[in-house]
């Protein structure tokens, strides 16, 4: 059974194969209406159930369109409207859904819940974001980087701000795909040591934002307040020196690109001139959620890797 709970579930070779597949499929259907099914309809007859315990725009719509373009169908559920929201266990939900659908995607808070879902499900389970990681996002980010003409091995990625779930998956990708991450995070908001060790020596945390960005190929940031976190003035104040503005971007390589998983808060983690400027790849990055997730779905069903 193939579960996609973190990038390491797939491993480097399968990730590379998924990125190749995503790019090929994206190019093959360029200009087609979004709802048209890919010529080979590889997931015809398959149904994906999606469970959301947190808000989502990109993950919800891109997974829904991904399974449709592959010839399958989806069922989208808010956890609050399920019995899960009234105390039915994750384990029981997993076993019941496994009798109805062919795969389950879940967005939740505690990463232990996706692990429990995978343990009890008899169909593939996909992590659509937890407090600990966001592997589907990073598949789209890697695809966007490659599409921009850069190759992953040896790349220098700078992260600015909160040591959060998105950073944890970037760091995991660094270890697998052999690029380097320097994360500049304020005291008290650094990533867990365990997340950094997953990069097998390819990630380090610094305090100085300029040190992180110096000579970077890719500059990445994310919201300072993730879903489920309290809006705290002290945190926003601590983050302010880590805002990505034009002066900070000037320390990166001249051809450096800017990424942000979205949703963004212009004037907080990034200034409008950077996120809406020539170096920003955010719209391609958002679209690539669709193309990357099609590959993740195909990997889950044993069609890739
Ligand atoms: N980047 C991302 O996961 O966006 P959503 O929260 O809108 O799904
Ligand atoms: N770190 C953010 C990512 C949103 C896609 C969050 O968890 O809210």
**Model pLDDT for residues 53-93, shown as the tens digit of each residue:** 999 999 999 999 999 999 999 999 999 999 999 999 999 99
Ligand 1 pocket check for 57: Cβ under 6 Å? yes
Atom of ligand 2 nearest to the CA of 162: 1
pLDDT given at position 266: 98
Q: How many residues does the chain have?
A: 305
Judge whether 289 counts as a catalytic residue: yes
Determine if ligand 1 sits within 6 Å of the CB of residue 59: yes
Q: What is the DSSP string of 113-128?
A: HHHHHHHH-SS-EEE-
**CA–CA distances in Å: residue 213 to residues 92, 98, 242, 267:** 46, 45, 11, 19
Residue 243 annotated as catalytic: no
- Nearest CA among 99, 175, 173 for reference residue 141: 173
Q: 245: alpha, beta or left, given left = phi > 0 and alpha = psi -120 to 50?
A: beta
Distances (CA, A) of 185 to 25, 177, 205, 254, 275: 37, 23, 7, 23, 20
Closest-lying ligand 1 atom to the alpha carbon of residue 227: 6
Task: Identify whether the C-beta of residue 301 lies closer than 8 Å to the C-beta of residue 124.
Answer: yes
Indicate if ipTM > 0.90. yes
**Residue 281 pLDDT exceeds 90:** yes
> Is the distance from CB of 184 to CB of 206 less than 8 angstroms?
yes
pLDDT for 278 equals: 98
134 catalytically annotated: yes
pLDDT higher than 90, residue 234? yes
Which of 52, 57, 78 to mutate to test ligand 1, by most ligand atoms within 8 A of the CB atom? 57
How many other β-carbons are positioned within 10 Å of the β-carbon of residue 238?
18
- At residue 260, the pLDDT reads 98
Percent of the chain with pLDDT over 90: 97
Q: What pLDDT is recorded for position 184?
A: 98
Q: 5-42, pLDDT tens digit by residue?
A: 999 999 999 999 999 999 999 999 999 999 999 999 99
Report the alpha-carbon distance of residue 78 to residue 157 in Å, rounded.
35
Average pLDDT rounded to a whole number, residues 265-294: 98
Which residues are within 8 A (CB) of 155 and not within 5 positions of it... i.e. 6 or more apart? 145, 179, 180, 217, 218
Residue 183 · residue 206 · CB < 8 Å? yes
Residue 231 clears pLDDT 90, i.e. is over it: no
pLDDT of residue 198: 86
Q: What is the pLDDT of residue 200?
A: 86
Share of the chain above pLDDT 70, in %: 100
Per-residue pLDDT, 45: 98
For 128-168, write each residue's pLDDT tens digit.
999 999 999 999 999 999 999 999 999 999 999 999 999 99
The model's pTM is 0.98
Report the distance separating Cα 41 and Cα 69, nearest Å.
7
CA end-to-end distance (rounded Å), the chain = 13
Q: How far is 75 from 81, CA to CA, in rounded Å?
A: 13
């Amino acid at each position: 059974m193939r579960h996609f709970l973190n990038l390491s579930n797939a491993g480097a070779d399968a990730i590379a194969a998924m990125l190749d597949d995503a790019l090929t499929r994206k190019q093959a259907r360029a200009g087609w209406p979004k709802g048209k099914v890919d010529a080979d309809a590889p997931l015809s007859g398959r149904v994906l159930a999606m469970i959301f315990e947190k808000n989502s725009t990109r993950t919800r719509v891109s997974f829904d369109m991904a399974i449709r373009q592959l010839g399958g169908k989806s069922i989208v559920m808010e956890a609050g409207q399920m019995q899960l929201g009234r105390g039915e266990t994750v384990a029981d939900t997993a076993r019941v859904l496994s009798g109805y659908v062919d795969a389950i995607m879940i967005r939740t808070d505690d990463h232990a819940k996706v692990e429990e879902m995978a343990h009890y499900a008899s169909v593939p389970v996909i992590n659509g974001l937890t407090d600990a990681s966001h592997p589907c996002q990073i598949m789209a980010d890697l695809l966007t980087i490659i599409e921009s003409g850069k190759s992953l091995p040896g790349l220098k990625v700078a992260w600015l701000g909160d040591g959060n779930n998105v950073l944890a998956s970037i760091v995991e990708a660094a270890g697998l795909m052999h690029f380097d991450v320097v994360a500049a995070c304020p005291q008290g908001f650094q990533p867990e040591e365990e997340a950094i060790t997953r990069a097998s020596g390819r990630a380090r945390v610094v305090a100085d934002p300029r040190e992180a960005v110096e000579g970077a190929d890719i500059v990445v940031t994310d919201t300072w307040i993730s879903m489920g976190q309290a809006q705290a003035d002290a945190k926003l104040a601590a983050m302010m020196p880590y805002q990505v503005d034009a002066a900070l971007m000037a320390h990166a390589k001249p051809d450096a690109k800017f990424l942000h998983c979205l949703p963004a808060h212009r004037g907080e983690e990034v200034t409008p001139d950077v996120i809406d400027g020539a170096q920003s790849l955010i719209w391609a990055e958002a679209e690539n959620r669709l193309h990357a997730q099609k590959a993740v779905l195909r990997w889950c069903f044993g069609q890739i890797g």
